[in-house]
Amino acid sequence: MHTDSMTQATTIQLPADWRDFFALTKPRVMSLVIFTGLCGLLAAPGTINPVIGFTAILCIALGAGGAAALNQWWEADLDGGMKRTASRPLPDGRLARGDALSFGILLSAASVMIMGLAVHWLAAIILAVSIFYYAVIYTIWLKPRTPQNIVIGGGAGAFPPMIGWVAVTGEITLMPVLLFAIIFFWTPPHFWALALFVKTDYAKVGIPMMPVVAGERATRQQILIYSVILLVVAAAPWLVGGTGAIYGGLAVALSLAFLVLSIPVATRAAGEGDEMKPEKRLFAFSILYLFALFAALVIDRIAYAQGLLG
């Protein structure tokens, strides 16, 4: 880091481009955050003023952006050591580290304050917990220490639908907890499928990712175990009577497809030069799965609200 301090000094003299600040918020990850948050909000029983609803989703997005900026502030050195992340604004020297920290804190604090003042304080508290969970508990504490880091990190991504739901109802009931659980159990098989076919250099920077620490075989078995749990968890909102049959049917069908696609991944061993087709297929489907599942939740709610069914 110190060897190129000369070049860094000259780069940092220039005011950072706003696009680099924007990149700090991990805009691509945010699409899923916004979508699941919006689905939680739309599926919740009750109504919310469109302006307040929009503000709630904006706050969820701002909070996620703030947490992402804090994550990159902390991991700048690690990111610099990995090919995939070396060109991010901080390791590339386009942005000063202190600026990233201030930006992250500003976004996080603003999102929680606005959520509390304009929408609901319980939703604001959960948002604050989720930011703390991702930036501190996950990024700083557990990610570098345990191969279960993805399982724990999944918790951070699982908050948005819960926050969206609570923004409408103002209380934590079983349903928002189940929505949380769905993303929580979906994240590990989703990420590990990717980890199997993308050879990352996490090992080089000392992050204990599951395939590196426990081996490929154990990772494959874990994917199958989580897929089975996911089948039960995804069907749970319907089983407990929180949704109708539209969601129930789609959730079971989608989760069965997820399980079927994870079986070849779990049972095979990839040799040299393997194309990793089953792993790529499972990963691609996992993204579609989550979007479809949450869309089903909203469709189910609207259909019953309109009296189309039952």
Partner 1 sequence: MTPEEEAEYRKLQKSRNKVLGLVLMFFVLLFYAITIVRMGD
Supply the minimum distance, in Å, between the C-beta of residue 37 and partner 1.
Answer: 17
Judged by CB under 8 A, which stretch of 52-60, 203-211, 251-259, 272-280 contacts partner 1? 52-60
Supply the minimum distance, in Å, between the C-beta of residue 111 and partner 1.
Answer: 12
Contact status: 171 vs partner 1 (CB under 8 A): no
Q: Cβ(136)–Cβ(104) under 8 Å?
A: no
Supply the minimum distance, in Å, between the C-beta of residue 12 and partner 1.
Answer: 12
Supply the minimum distance, in Å, between the C-beta of residue 108 and partner 1.
Answer: 16
Residues in binding contact with partner 1, number by CB under 8 A: 12
Query: In terms of CB distance, is 62 or 70 closer to partner 1?
Result: 62
Query: In terms of CB distance, is 51 or 269 closer to partner 1?
Result: 51
Supply the minimum distance, in Å, between the C-beta of residue 103 and partner 1.
Answer: 12
Among 2, 3, 6, 18, binds partner 1 (CB under 8 A): 18
Among 58, 225, 295, 298, binds partner 1 (CB under 8 A): 58
Cα–Cα distance measured from residue 154 to residue 139, given in angstroms and rounded to the nearest whole number: 12
Supply the minimum distance, in Å, between the C-beta of residue 66 and partner 1.
Answer: 14
Contact status: 16 vs partner 1 (CB under 8 A): yes
Helices 216-239 & 245-267, crossing angle to 10 degrees?
A: 170
Query: In terms of CB distance, is 59 or 250 closer to partner 1?
Result: 59
Q: Cβ(231)–Cβ(258) under 8 Å?
A: yes
Contact status: 47 vs partner 1 (CB under 8 A): no
Site string for partner 1, 106-125 (x = CB under 8 A): ------------x-------
Among 6, 46, 47, 51, binds partner 1 (CB under 8 A): 51
Among 52, 101, 137, 276, binds partner 1 (CB under 8 A): 52
Contact status: 17 vs partner 1 (CB under 8 A): yes
Contact status: 85 vs partner 1 (CB under 8 A): no
Contact status: 15 vs partner 1 (CB under 8 A): yes
> 192: Cβ–Cβ under 8 A, 6 or more apart, which residues?
150, 210, 211, 219, 222, 223
Which two three-digit tokens encode residue 270? 């990839």
Per CB under 8 A, residues contacting partner 1 are: 13-18, 49, 51-52, 55, 58, 118
